Amino acid sequence: MTGYKCGLCKKSVKFDVKNIGMQCPYCGSKIFYKERPTIAKRIKSK
Amino acid sequence: MKVDVKELKPKKAIIQIEDIKPYFVNALRRIMISELPKLAVNEVVIYDNTSALFDEIISHRLGLVPIPTDLSLLLFKNECVCKGKGCPNCTVRYTLSKEGEGSVYSGDLLPAEKSWAIKEDKIPIVELYGDQRLILEVEAVLGRGRDHAKWQAIQAPAYRMEPIIEFDKTKLDDVKEFITKLPENLVSIKGNKLVLKDVTKLPIIESYISKENIDYITIERDPTKFLFHFETDGSFTAKDAILESVNILQKKYEELGKLLKNLK
């Protein structure tokens, strides 16, 4: 299950990666943003 | 050797050097580009980034921010007593935390110690909209221009040889007439030579000579007189940059001398 944020109502929803045709269960929107994991990311400045 | 400082600003210098060979000035130029160490952001720890730019782009932009460098206080990370782990002797740490509408500038990077505060504080990093936020921590370490452009403190160091503009003495009247066509106070006549008031204006006279198809004026370069100019990115003052570069060049020659003494 992967966490997404609805583009319209901004609520967090979870979907299976295999899921086809994602739709927000709260508002019906089909636009999602992938939520950032809450871990620190270390990057080399190139 | 004669040295005359023509212009010395905090970030820019023009120096006239006489009685010297081109390879020596070129060695100094190359030291400035690739050997002079400076601080630059090397690692970024991103805690949150909901801005429009990817983490990698933000870290790249942070890498190019000039950080004031004091070489007497810092060591290279691989030469430090901490053996590369990162300590106050080799690493300078900054934090950045911003949320909400507005631009994130280089000045938003807050140092652990005030003496490392970034002077070029209006370099845009990213623009935030709505409730977007950026929270990160960066580590700046010493490096050299030969490894990455972010560690290049001097921008466009260059030199030009002083021009010698000579003319045929028998064509003095033609030369005087030619000078009237040039912009005012560009050159003056001295013997059979034309003396430029400002050497950087040479292309103007060259273009006029080419336009008028003049064959009685010749332009040559004096390979012993140079006008050396450079600008820094703000991590050093121009004075510190050239003095430090000369030190590095001197150390390299000394090292070479020591090695050659051991030859059997």
ipTM entry:
0.72
Average pLDDT, chain B: 91
In a domain, A39, yes or no: no
Between chains, do B46 and A43 touch, taking CB under 8 Å as contact? yes
Which residue of A lies nearest to B44 if distances are taken between CA atoms? A43
The pLDDT of residue A18:
79
Between chains, do A36 and B48 touch, taking CB under 8 Å as contact? yes
- CB-CB neighbors (< 8 A) of B148 in chain A: 46
Mean of pLDDT values over B219-225: 90
The pLDDT of residue B131:
86
On the question of pLDDT at B232 being above 90, the answer is yes
Candidates A10, A39, A43, A44, partner chain B, best to mutate (most B CBs within 10 A): A43
* Whether the Cβ atoms of residue B242 and residue B11 lie closer than 8 Å to each other: no
- CB-CB neighbors (< 8 A) of A40 in chain B: 45-47
Nearest to B113 by CA among B85, B128, B94: B94
The pLDDT tens digits for B22-46 are 999 999 999 999 999 999 999 999 9
CA dist., res. B92 & res. B86, Å (int): 9
In a domain, A41, yes or no: no
The pLDDT tens digits for A13-29 are 988 877 788 899 999 99
The pLDDT of residue B192:
87
Strands (E), chain B: 2-8, 12-18, 38-49, 91-99, 102-105, 110-111, 124-128, 133-143, 154-167, 187-190, 193-196, 217-232
How deeply is B183 buried, as exposed, middle or buried, from its count of CB atoms within 10 A (0-12, 13-18, 19+)? Answer: exposed
The pLDDT of residue B198:
84
The pLDDT of residue A16:
83
The pLDDT tens digits for B188-207 are 888 888 888 888 888 999 99
Between chains, do B63 and A45 touch, taking CB under 8 Å as contact? yes
The pLDDT of residue B214:
87
The pLDDT of residue B56:
94
Between chains, do A41 and B46 touch, taking CB under 8 Å as contact? yes
Which residue of A lies nearest to B60 if distances are taken between CA atoms? A45
The range of the structural domain enclosing residue A6 comes to: 2-34
Mean of pLDDT values over B238-244: 94
- CB-CB neighbors (< 8 A) of B56 in chain A: 43, 46
In a domain, A11, yes or no: yes
> pTM value?
0.82
Read off the pLDDT band of B95 (50, 70, 90). very high
Between chains, do B50 and A43 touch, taking CB under 8 Å as contact? no
Domains of chain B (ranges; CATH) run 2-34+156-229 (3.30.1360.10), 38-151 (2.170.120.12)
Q: How many domains does chain A have?
A: 1
Read off the pLDDT band of B19 (50, 70, 90). very high
Q: What is the 8-class DSSP label of residue B233? A: -
Candidates B54, B55, B57, B109, partner chain A, best to mutate (most A CBs within 10 A): B55
In a domain, A9, yes or no: yes
Query: Nearest Cβ partner of B60 from A36, A42, A46?
Result: A46
On the question of pLDDT at B134 being above 90, the answer is yes
Tokens of B172: 């003095």
Between chains, do A42 and B44 touch, taking CB under 8 Å as contact? yes
In a domain, A29, yes or no: yes
* Whether the Cβ atoms of residue B68 and residue B153 lie closer than 8 Å to each other: no
In a domain, A6, yes or no: yes
Which residue of B lies nearest to A33 if distances are taken between CA atoms? B50
In a domain, A23, yes or no: yes
Mean of pLDDT values over B11-17: 93
Mean of pLDDT values over B162-172: 88
By a Cβ cutoff of 8 Å, what residues of chain B touch chain A?
40-50, 55-56, 59-60, 62-63, 138, 148, 150
The pLDDT of residue A19:
77
The pLDDT of residue A1:
76
Query: Nearest Cβ partner of B47 from A40, A45, A46?
Result: A40
How many A×B Cβ pairs under 8 Å? 40
Read off the pLDDT band of B186 (50, 70, 90). confident
Q: Which of residues 15-44 of A touch B (CB under 8 A)?
A: 36, 40-44
